[in-house]
Amino acid sequence: MKIEIVQLENIRSHVKSTVPFSRGFNCLVGGLGCGKSSVLYSIDFAFFGDPIGRSFEYLLREGADSGKVTVQFTHNGNTYKITRGIKRRGKGINQDLEELKLFHEENLIASMNASAIAEQFCAITGLDKELWREIVWIRQEQLKKLIDAAPRDRQKLLDELFGLSDYEAAWSSIVDYQREYEGEKRILEKDPDVIGKEKLALEYNRITEEYTLLEVELQSTVAKLAMIKRRLEAADVELKKLDEKKLWIEELRLKEAKIQANISNAQDAADALAQRLEDKKIILENLNQRLKVMHCQIESCKNKIREAGLPIDQPTDALQSYLLTLDSKISDLRGEQEATLRDMKLDQKRLAQLSVDTQNQCPVCLQPINSEYKKLMLQRIQHENSERQKIIHQLQREIEELQRKKRLGSEACSDLQMYTFKVGELKTRIGEEEKNLQELQRELEEKKNIYYELSRQLESLRFEISRFNMEDLEVARTQKEQLFRQYYLVESELRTKENRKRDALQRLDEIKERIDHAMQKMERLEKITKTIQIIGTIRYAYRGIQPKLRGEFVKVLRNFIQQVLDTLIGNEAPFLNVVIDETYTPYVKSESGADREVANLSGGERTLLAFAYRLGLGQLIMQSRTGHGLGILLLDEPTENLGAEDYSINHLAEAISKFKAIEQIIAVTHSEVFAEKAEHVVVLEKEAGISKVSIAKEYR
């Protein structure tokens, strides 16, 4: 595995940084607090997502709401890229699952699911969080953690990493299985099915014989039931036919009642029509009488018109015109009467004047007259007024006669017009009533025809109804009921036998199942007996194999550590001979043969030994867990307790640069002396609180 690029956004002092790495020895160099260790923390976060501590406060840049880490790496010739983000929510900082993605080349293979990403990453690299943080990533001040740990704690931790603790756990937990199997064995040995297997076999044979007899009886009962069923079906068919005929007869009776009602209705309708016909005749007779009366009235009106002197053969409009001429005559007579009356009044005035006039003066010409002439004039005027009076009376008689004729003629014309109109109406009414009378006669004839047709249908229906015999239906129903009872009894008998057969079969199945269970329990008992023996052997093996495997791991670990230590020390420093005991505790054996504990070594020796111990341990654990050696190593300030003056830093850097067993080593240091030996150097500086990344080619 090789990390190629690490990109950081708002991670600690990094606002937006890209850090490239190459194969071999890589070194991140810079001053205190410039963001070197942040790169290693970001790689751990990108791969596993769990915070180191209780929260992600140590990762997110102060004042930023979100941050993101992208790591591109290669493994077995394939390129992968993983991204993770963090986000501030209220007072807390949590992982941003929307930014969680894993790519193979350019293809997205997992996203937004931490478990899926962890499974894919482990499947690709063989690394989990425990291996990474204990073996691959050696954090600052953690280099000597293992060699300084208590022996029992160290043994427990490394047994877990090597997988040896599984043997201890298996040895402890397998006793529960042994006890469980022994308890099951005791139960099986006392099981009634296992003990009474022979009795079960005898019971099975007895029930088998009973089952065979029931089979024979059932066949006979089934045949009997089939015969009764056929007879019952035939009786049912016959009964259905009779029932259908009965329904048909009932329908005929309903039809009979309906026809009877229709006949009654037809009779009532005919009677009603006959009554209406008689009423209509009376009405026509009355109308004809009224017409005769009207003709008499018209003749009376014509007589009055003749009496009034009007032409009888003229139409009403001509008569009205003639009456208007009478008005003109009356008007003329009145004018003449008024003129005569005026003349008479004038003469009376003259008479009055002549009677009182003492001068005897003519009232007309005002000439003087004599007494004789005056007397004659008075007589003449009186005579003329007398004549005028007669004329006025004559004119009055003529006016009254004309008025009488006009009144008589007007009344006669008006009555004639009215009676003529009423005669027309009566004739129209008589025509309508005669038409209605004919229609009533036609309807009456139709009702009589309907009555005769319904009577004929009723007679035919009554004949069909009389042909049906209810006794046939009762006989068929009784026969069916008897067959049904027979069928029910035989069917009940069949069900009883089937239930007995089913019970027998169920008992056979139960006994067979008990026999099978007894056989299975006996087989199980044999297997459990063998299993208990095997478990005892396995427990003994587990108890003995763990120390042997630990011893083998210790030998290989010692060789790995010694090889690395020899490479680190070289020929310029005193030789250190390493010894590892059963608790994985390292010792240094002096030339005199005395064992020196780690606590008694110098600071530089302890650092070199711790580094060699971690490298050897990492190679061995990776070989045992994944089948291949340690491919990547992350070191945070590995030069602890080493000085430039004794060249120990140079020796460590030189040894790391020559250590080709690991594909990629990434070290974080503030020592430029250490960084000189690196194949690829990245310089980190801090300006205005922001980390700046650059490639220092002069260190190559």
| Cα 41 from Cα 59, distance rounded (Å) | 8
Q: Is 449 exposed, middle or buried (0-12, 13-18, 19+ CB in 10 A)?
A: exposed
Q: Is the pLDDT of residue 698 over 50?
A: no
Alpha-carbon span 302 to 304, nearest angstrom? 5
pLDDT of 38:
92
Q: How does pLDDT run across 561-605, given as a tens digit for each residue?
A: 777 777 767 665 566 788 888 877 888 876 666 777 777 777 777
Angle, CA of 16, 664 and 83, to the nearest 5°? 35
Quick check: is 405 in a domain?
yes
| Residues in Cβ contact with 332 at an 8 Å cutoff, skipping those fewer than 6 apart | none
Q: 664 in a domain, yes or no?
A: yes
pLDDT tens digits for range 195-245: 777 777 787 788 888 888 888 888 888 888 888 888 888 888 877 887 777
Fill in the DSSP letter of residue 643.
-
Please state, for a pLDDT cut of 70, what percent of the chain lies above it: 87
In one-letter notation, the amino acid at residue 661 is: A
Q: Identify the top-confidence range among 368-382, 441-455, 647-661.
A: 441-455
Lowest mean pLDDT among 243-247, 275-279, 387-391, 631-635: 243-247
Residue 589 lies in a domain: no
Between 247 and 314, residue with greater pLDDT: 247
Residue at 265 is within a domain:
no
Range of 186-200, 208-222, 351-365, 517-531 with top mean pLDDT = 208-222
Residue 152 in any domain: the answer is no
pLDDT digits (tens, 9 = 90+) for 33-53: 899 999 999 999 999 998 887
For 563, the 3-state DSSP assignment is helix
Cα 611 to Cα 597: distance, rounded to the nearest angstrom: 16
Mean pLDDT for 436-463 is 82
Whether the pLDDT of residue 502 is over 80: the answer is yes
Task: Express as a percent the part of the chain with pLDDT over 90.
Answer: 16
For residue 202, the Cα-to-chain-centroid distance in whole angstroms is 63
Q: Which amino acid is it at 485?
A: R
* Candidate ranges 314-328, 376-390, 422-436, 646-660; pick with highest mean pLDDT: 422-436
Pick from 465, 480, 511: which residue ends a domain?
A: 465
The C-alpha atoms of residue 232 and residue 221 are separated, in whole angstroms, by 16
- Tokens encoding 267: 């009779």
CA-to-CA distance for 322 and 327, rounded, in angstroms?
A: 9
Q: What is the mean pLDDT of the chain?
A: 80
Position 167, amino acid: Y
Better-predicted residue by pLDDT, 203 or 162: 203
Query: What is the domain range of residue 397?
Result: 303-465
The reported pLDDT for the residue numbered 700 is 42
Report pLDDT digits (tens) over 186-195.
Answer: 777 777 777 7
Would residue 361 count as lying in a domain?
yes
- The one-letter amino acid code at 490 reads V
- Which pLDDT does position 581 carry in this prediction? 80
The mean pLDDT of 634-642, rounded to a whole number, is 79
Q: For strand 664-669 and strand 680-687, is the pairing parallel, antiparallel, or unpaired? A: unpaired
Run of H or E including 657: helix 648-658
Beta bridge partners of 685: 692
Between CA 652 and CA 658 the distance in angstroms is 10
How is 281-329 classified by DSSP, letter by letter?
HHHHHHHHHHHHHHHHHHHHHHHHHHHTT--TTS-HHHHHHHHHHHHHH
Domain with residue 690: its CATH number is: 3.40.50.300
Residue 473 included in any domain: no
Domain boundary among the residues 435, 465, 495 is at 465
Distances from the Cα of 147 to the Cα of 128, 155, 158, 210, 253, angstroms: 23, 11, 12, 83, 118
Contacts of 687 (CB under 8 A, 6+ apart): none
Indicate if the pLDDT at residue 170 is higher than 60. no
Return the SS3 of 360.
coil
Task: Give tens-digit pLDDT for 93-132.
Answer: 999 999 999 999 989 999 988 888 999 998 898 888 888 8
Return the higher-pLDDT residue of 308 and 154: 154
Mark which of 422, 449, 465 sits at the end of a domain. Answer: 465
**Is position 535 within any domain?**
no
From CA 197, how far away is CA 201, in angstroms rounded?
7
Domain count, the chain: 2
Length of the chain: 700
Give the torsion through C-alpha atoms of 136, 141, 147, 152, to 10 deg: -90
